[in-house]
Amino acid sequence: MTEDHPLEYADFEGVIPVEHYGAGTVMVWDKGTYETEDDLPAEEQLARGEIKLILHGKKLQGGFVLVHMGKHGAKPKEKSRWLLIKRQDEYVNPDWQLEDAKLSRSALTGRTFQEIVQSRTKRKRAA
């Protein structure tokens, strides 16, 4: 489980150095709002093992269900598995492909992972 982060982190893109928590390249892949379905609050839905959402993002839109698939293994520190399922609605696009070049770009800046890494390298050289 990841702890809550300040809302200001939602607009962060860059490279977190290896020796720091969360190390690696960070991209804002999608940005938007959501609303929950059903009459239960999100926390109660998650406690049941699934949450029904309507996403209003730049890339993902419409109904989705996030389902808990259990633990990866018996070890207590291993990560949980969750499955995001697109619901059949007016936003279903049979031509949608994750490999589409438009989807590899940040919803915030339009940069690719490589461009985010390169901008860090350029700033480091200039310093």
Confidence tier at 7 by pLDDT (50, 70, 90):
confident
Locate the DSSP E strands across 58-106: 61-71, 80-86
DSSP state of 104: G
Mean pLDDT across the stretch 64-93? 81
pTM of the model: 0.75
Task: Give the domain ranges of the chain.
Answer: 7-90+102-117
Is the per-residue pLDDT at 60 higher than 90?
yes
Is the per-residue pLDDT at 43 higher than 70?
yes
Neighbours of 16 (CB within 10 A): 14
Confidence tier at 73 by pLDDT (50, 70, 90):
low
Locate the DSSP E strands across 59-126: 61-71, 80-86
